Chain A
């Protein structure tokens, strides 16, 4: 792959169906495997995108996910028009969560989503406006063979 040959995938994340949350991440994981990307890189992308997708379903009634791949890195942009995050620093703290009890009973909402996304991406930026929505951009570098 060359820089010119950038691949782009776009997904609508359905916010009304928690059961199907993760289907975009599943498709990206499959595509990266087909492209021959290293398994540890694929897993990091899978973790950050899946956590992000779950967040969009829990908090923002869905949104759009765009994944761009070139020879150096994988960029994931998750954009929603949900309620926004009033205090991003607080939201980044492990254990902080505003998820409702029904989501916690499904195994999410432990306040580990954003911290996991930061931990497993090489770069993460959050832009959020209360009442307008949130955009999360994450980059995972593709390791170069020595």
Chain B
């Protein structure tokens, strides 16, 4: 699906890289532990998280994650937004909690990834 659909499905705010909303994503992972995210490998992925520090964006960058969705109304700091803008990672924020947000995205066709490289 396009990132734009995630915005609509979750009623999310776009925090940066609005020009990339038509990029395609095919899989997602959800975690507040970045080492879990680092064990997740899939292309064209979305990260759903309740954690909002710059290491979230850096982790996304390491894993070629195209879009980060902050749940529970979390907003990242300005450093995170600036880093994401530089690297072309779309940041979204929604008021939903982690579980319903994941359910909605899964239902709409985003799948989980494999652990192995």
Give the residue name and chain of the A residue nearest to B63 (CB): A43
Q: In the docked arrangement, what's the CA distance between A63 and B61, Å?
A: 22
Determine if A21 and B55 form an interchain contact, defined as CB atoms under 8 angstroms apart. Answer: yes
The listed residue (B39, B56, B58) touching A50 by CB distance below 8 A is: B58
**A51-B35, A113-B35, A116-B39 in contact; A43/B55 too (CB < 8 A)?**
no
| Count of B interface residues, CB-CB < 8 Å | 23
Q: With the chains together, A47 CA to B38 CA distance in Å?
A: 6
Given contacts A19-B54, A19-B79, contact A110 B59 (CB under 8 A): no
A76 to chain B, nearest CB (A): 14
The answer to whether A79 has its CB under 8 Å from any CB of chain B is no
Task: Give the A interface residue count (CB, 8 A).
Answer: 25
Q: Do residues B58 and A44 form an inter-chain contact, with CB atoms below 8 A? A: no
Q: How far is the CA of A108 from the CA of B43 in the complex (A)?
A: 23
Q: Separation in Å of the A103 CB from the closest CB of chain B?
A: 10
Q: A43-B117, A46-B63 are in contact. Are A107 and B56 (CB under 8 A)?
A: yes
Residues from chain A with a CB closer than 8 A to the CB of B59 are 22, 50, 107
- B62–A47 contact, CB under 8 A? yes
Provide the bound-state CA to CA distance between A19 and B76, in Å.
13
Besides the contacts A22-B58, A50-B38, A108-B35, what 13 more A-B pairs have beta carbons closer than 8 Å? A19-B55, A43-B117, A47-B117, A50-B59, A50-B62, A54-B55, A106-B55, A107-B32, A107-B49, A107-B55, A110-B36, A116-B39, A119-B39
The 6 lowest CB-CB distance pairs between A and B, nearest first, are A112-B35, A107-B34, A22-B58, A46-B62, A107-B51, A110-B33
